[in-house]
Structure 1
Amino acid sequence: MPTNQQIVEQALERIGAGYVFPERTAGIEAAILGRLAEGAYQDLDGPALCEAVTGHLQEACPDRHLRLLWSREPRSLEPVDDDGGRAAFLALLRAEGQGIRRVERLDGNIGLIELRRVASAVEGASAIGAAMQLVAGTSALLLDLRACVGGSPEGAAMWCGYFFPDDQVHLNDIYDRSTDTTRQYWTAGHLPAPRYTDRPVHVLTSEATFSAGEDIAYTLQAHGRAVVVGATTRGGAHPTARHPITEHILVTVPTARTISTVTGTNWEGVGVVPDVPVPADQAFEEARGRSTV
């Protein structure tokens, strides 16, 4: 069993090798090693160690995806199994209906889709299409992302694609450090269900909305395709790889960054600021009222 010092040092190695802003890694390392030398992590158990190191990482570099996480379920430490967390993520999505919590047609012919996670564009395409098929005939849509904690950038682009008429909208770009390349994300030419155009869309947000959930809200807002109602979101815009350090501890390393084609930036550290700011628990009624006007 590795010591806390070894866990922290291995996490720093992963951050140094993969973090999307390499110029910041020396400062991160110096700050954490300073804490280590002070004995800040000496007697902490696994969950407490993860909490303490995460707090210090984000003090040194305010990136919401830069974290040590505790996993109750043990994970493989075999190098062949280190896929950045993709297999575990896909398994979680299969167990959670591809992140789609609820689809309803409300009184007044208003559609409601509640997302908890954003599925991949490959495995999640059928489920995303099924949800959009069910609301295809509604006159307005509420897309509830208040409890959406993240997911796939490709899936976020697929969700967004339903709200534009064709494949001619350049949504955003993602720069990846490991390959030094930028990938463009456009609306898709073919989708499994009808597009949802020429009708109002309200996106509901909260302080918990994160990562790929924020991607959907930010992108639709920036392109003028949805009105965001609720609270400012959590502020994590960097696609992330997850690497096991022990069977129960993993480090999440932001390896890429999102760039909006409209704003030239993203929501990292600032969140998605709603068009209609209201407490998150009031966002549904506020958006529903606006959809019936």
Structure 2
Amino acid sequence: MPFASRWLRTETAVPRQVFINGCFTRRAFMRLCRVITSCVLLLAPLGVAVAQVAPSAGPVDASTRQAVVASLGKQMQANYVFPDVAGKVAAALDAKVAGHAYEHDATSDTFAKALTHDLQSVGMDRHLRIMYDPTFKPDENDDTALTPKQIDEQRTMASQYAYGIAKVERLPGNVGYLDIRGFLPADFVATGYAAAMNLVAGSDALIIDLRKNGGGDPSSVATLLSYFFAEGDSRHLNDLYWRKGDRTQQFWTAAVSGPRYTRPVYVLTSALTFSGGEECAYDFQTQKRATLVGTSTGGGANPGDVFALGHGFVAFIPVGRAVNPVTHTNWEHVGVKPDIAVPAADAMKTAYVAILKKQIVTTKDPDQLDRLKATLARVEKGVEEKPNYDPPK
């Protein structure tokens, strides 16, 4: 079984890819633990409290900065998915060090930020990132299978984080709503996705909110997309090309448990939609299965891994790139463009109003028509629907 790439993005930590050879490996498990523990963007909206202790910033002298940049250049040239760009980046950073560009970046924090800025500016890749993490240790025994206890721990983690699903809701007008904040490992999300899709199965249209989705497992993206095509309608969704081994990994829709969803779908996006979240939006768009509403996404299409640079610094370096089978390109640096461009804060209202207006045109039931018009008026005015019971005091 081929390796599966898994990547997540956070605002406070280096995004860390998880590789899994076969079903489970020790490397994958440890990466998953570190990613989930640090993933504020993913966990906070789900109501999960996670204690985090950021490494203390320390002084960085000129010799350390020179050694870190030299190590970064070697790691880039050995691993970055674009070898020609890697050479260009390494040369540019060497020139900056020689020109004393980082002499005022005297702490680990400021140096990491300055190096990240230059790395992304020269490499034109938003996944490239430097972080000070003296606790990081390269994984050993990459292909060691997990113990049953570790597998249970993975399964428990996935369920505690609600499989990345922050909210499932039925809105007035019989509109379904799914708020998905991240794509957790595919080995564990199937039951969560099936439950969510069962709850929205009877809706007349569905809104999928990816505005706070920082990424995750592309296999989970494929699992979710599989619900939106008829059984037997196999779709080639995405490819990942890996520099190591010069190989390409394909992602297709597959059999899923639970009902397929064949009604209209709207996908909400923002600048925070990143990596695997972007792939989800891009797959829906290129397969002409949904209408995207919001702003252009973050622009990160190159999954990677974490490499030690020495002196407590680590680098997230993309080792692969997405290749869409329809467009033969991806969303790197440019983001996924919405079909209906509105500020991200207005995306929900815009999609909801569009759905209600279409329902009003097509409904033939007078009572339903009145209810839809009343709902539309409330939504357009931003007024919440009153509950049909006395709420607790």
Alignment partner of 1:263 is 2:327: yes
> Is 1:176 equivalent to 2:242 in the alignment?
yes
Matched, 1:204 2:268: yes
Q: Distance in 2 between matches of 1:245 and 1:133?
A: 47
Is 1:239–2:299 an aligned residue pair?
no
Cα RMSD after superposing both structures: 2.4
Q: Which of 111, 125, 128 does residue 193 from structure 2 map onto?
A: 128
Alpha-carbon offset, residue 247 of structure 1: 8.7
TM-score of the aligned structures, taking structure 2 as reference length: 0.67
Secondary structure at the counterpart of residue 29 of structure 1: helix
Change (3 A) 1:80 1:186: same
Separation of aligned partners in 1, 2:300 and 2:173:
35
Q: List per-residue Cα deviations over 1:132-183 (Å, max 9, x = no partner).
A: 2221221111100111111111111111111111351111211111121111
Q: Distance in 2 between matches of 1:82 and 1:46?
A: 29
Aligned-residue offset at 1:94: 6.0
Consecutive unaligned residues of structure 1, counting only runs of 5 or more, are none
Superposed CA deviations along residues 114-144 of structure 1, whole A, max 9, x for unmatched, are 1111122112222222222221221111100
What is the aligned length? 284
Determine if the alignment matches structure 1 residue 194 to structure 2 residue 274.
Answer: no
Instruction: Please give the secondary structure, in 2, of the residue aligned with 1:163.
Output: coil
1:77 to 137, 144, 147: 137
Q: 1:44 aligns with which of 101, 106, 122?
A: 106
User: Does structure 2 retain, via aligned residues, the 8 Å contact 1:76–1:247?
Assistant: no
- Greater radius of gyration (CA): 2
Of 202, 205, 210, the match for 1:137: 202
Residues in 2 aligned to 1:136 and 1:69: alpha-carbon distance in whole angstroms: 43
**Which residue identity is paired with 1:206?**
S
More divergent stretch after superposition (179-188 vs 41-50): 41-50
Aligned twin of 1:19: 80
* Paired residue type of 1:59: S
Q: Stretches of 4+ moved more than 6 A in 1?
A: none
Q: Hey, what's the Cα distance between the residues in 2 that align with 1:260 and 1:115?
A: 22
SS in 1 for 2:124: coil
Deviation at 1:82, TM superposition (A): 7.4
Question: Helix, strand or coil for the counterpart of 1:195?
Answer: coil
**For each residue in 1:209-250, what CA deviation from the matched residue of structure 2 results, as whole angstroms up to 9, or x when unmatched?**
111000000111011000000001111111121234469643
Distance 2:237 2:106 in 1: 44
Q: Percentage identity across aligned positions?
A: 40
In structure 2, the residue matched to 1:160 is 225
Change (3 A) 1:78 1:67: closer
Contact 1:119 1:152 in 2 (8 A): yes
Gaps of 5+ in 2: 1-57, 144-149, 359-393
Question: Displacement, 1:184?
Answer: 1.4
Query: Against the structure 1 CA distance between its residues 132 and 46, is the aligned structure 2 distance closer, same or farther, given a 3 Å change threshold?
Result: farther
Q: Is the 8 A contact 2:230 2:260 kept in 1?
A: yes
CA contact (8 A) 1:20 1:256 kept: yes
Give, in whole Å, the separation in 2 of the partners of 1:99 and 1:244.
29
Q: How far apart, CA to CA, are the structure 2 residues paired with 1:143 and 1:159? A: 11
Task: Find the aligned partners of 1:247 and 1:135 in 2 and give their Cα distance.
Answer: 51
User: How far did residue 5 of structure 1 move?
Assistant: 2.8
Aligned partners of 1:114 and 1:144 also within 8 Å = yes
Cα distance in 2 for partners of 1:193, 1:108 equals: 23
Q: What secondary structure, in the 3-state scheme, does the structure 1 residue paired with 2:321 have?
A: strand
1:104 Cα deviation from its structure 2 partner: 0.9
- Cα pair 2:71 2:310 within 8 Å, conserved: no
Task: Work out whether residues 72 and 90 of structure 2, in 8 Å CA contact, stay in contact via their aligned partners in 1.
Answer: no
In the aligned structure 2, how far is the partner of 1:272 from the partner of 1:250? 29
